[in-house]
């Protein structure tokens, strides 16, 4: 709601809960999972459609941001790949978007979970 009211004051970045693997994990999060919330409120069919549509939006969220060219913002942490000589923020810029699937061990996974 704040993003709608103040579109140039709020910026959203993607975190680990903005992935299907986490917010669709009913086995682990039970009724606290986003998928369960959607299906319990809107029914199985519509709830799953809404969950998928929201996740399609999450797939487009940036993984990181820079504020004033000096402050690096990321939900999880700096990926180990960026701690090596010759690495740069360009590595993040080259990540394809939208990003539907996130696998353990990938740089993106570190950015969301570290």
Q: What are the residue numbers of the active site? A: 17
Distance CA 89, CA 10 (A): 22
Contact 109, 103 (CB under 8 A): yes
Give the separation between CA 85 and CA 79, rounded to whole angstroms. Answer: 13
DSSP code, position 71: E
């Amino acid at each position: 709601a704040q993003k709608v009211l103040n579109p140039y004051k709020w910026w959203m970045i993607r975190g680990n809960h903005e992935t299907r693997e986490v917010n669709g994990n009913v086995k682990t999060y039970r009724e606290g999972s986003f998928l369960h919330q959607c299906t319990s409120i809107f029914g199985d069919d519509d709830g799953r459609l809404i969950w998928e549509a929201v996740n399609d939006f999450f797939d487009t969220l940036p993984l990181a941001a820079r504020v004033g060219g000096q402050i690096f913002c990321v939900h999880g942490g700096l990926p180990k790949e960026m701690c090596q000589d010759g690495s740069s923020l360009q590595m993040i810029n080259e990540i394809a978007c939208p990003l539907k699937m996130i696998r353990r061990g990938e740089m993106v996974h570190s950015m969301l979970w570290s």
